[in-house]
Structures are given as C-alpha cells and as structure tokens.
Amino acid sequence: MKNAAMNYTKEKEAISTFLGNFTQVLNNGETNAIADFFDREAIFIPDGMKKIIGANQLGKTGNGYLKRTDFKIGYAIESITIENQFAFIEAFAATTENRISDLKPVPKRSIDFFVLKKENENWKIYRYIFNNVRELEVM
C-alpha cells in the first residue's frame, strides 16, 4: 500500500511539473513547442472558440498571438485525480494579455479542466477545456 501511495504522489508531482513546463512555454510565446505537450489525438476547446483537434493543428494557431499580446498565464491546481493512464486536473487560471487596440493589459480568470494521457512514461494533454473567462476590472 505504501508503494502505491508513493507512486501516486510521484505521478502528481510529475503532472504539476508538466503543467509548469506548459505554462513556461505559453508565457515565453514558444508557439512551435506547444504541440509537444499535446497527445496526437488531443482536443482543445477554448472558451467561445471553435475546438481544435489534433496536436498538429495546435502549432499552427495564434500566428504570433502569444508574443504580440505578451500573453501570460498561471495555473492554480485545485485537484489531480489519476485513473490508470489518465489524469484529470481541475485548475484556476489567471491570465494577462495586452489588448491589441490600445496595448493595455487585460487580466482574466478562468476555470480550466485537463485530461492528461500517459504514453511511454510521458504525460500529454489529451483534452483541454476552459470556460467562465472573466475580464477583471483594472483599477
């Protein structure tokens, strides 16, 4: 029993590190590296936008959007549940990006849900959806 608990803790730490690395790639605007975090059969459903299917489509999105808007994100992980080769992560995200029209920073909050899939000892994003994006009032 002790081994199973240690392994579960180790996997949760690996998932937290994985999401930290994903955050860093987004914050650095490394568009070409984004697809590496997604499973080849991934589905990404951003709030209010068309869903994107397949990791190969993810690197083609944005067209420099992350750098152009100086997009930044941080995740606060609420819970991680692991079942066999899948992990389910509930998180809150805080983002800022510069509005294209006036370059003023726009902070937002959202609820994010990830399903990760483990293949060959590596976690990959299998499903990613976020919603309830709220623009925060800037004082």
CA 108, 111, 114: angle at the middle one, nearest 5? 125
pLDDT in tens, 10-36: 999 999 999 999 999 999 999 889 989
Of 3, 5, 23, the C-alpha closest to 82 is 5
Domains of the chain: 2-135 (3.10.450.50)
Q: Looking at the whole model, is its pTM more than 0.75?
A: yes
Length of the chain, in residues: 139
For residues 74 and 65, the model is more confident at 74
- What is the three-state SS of 117-139? EEECCEEEEEEEEEEEEEECCCC
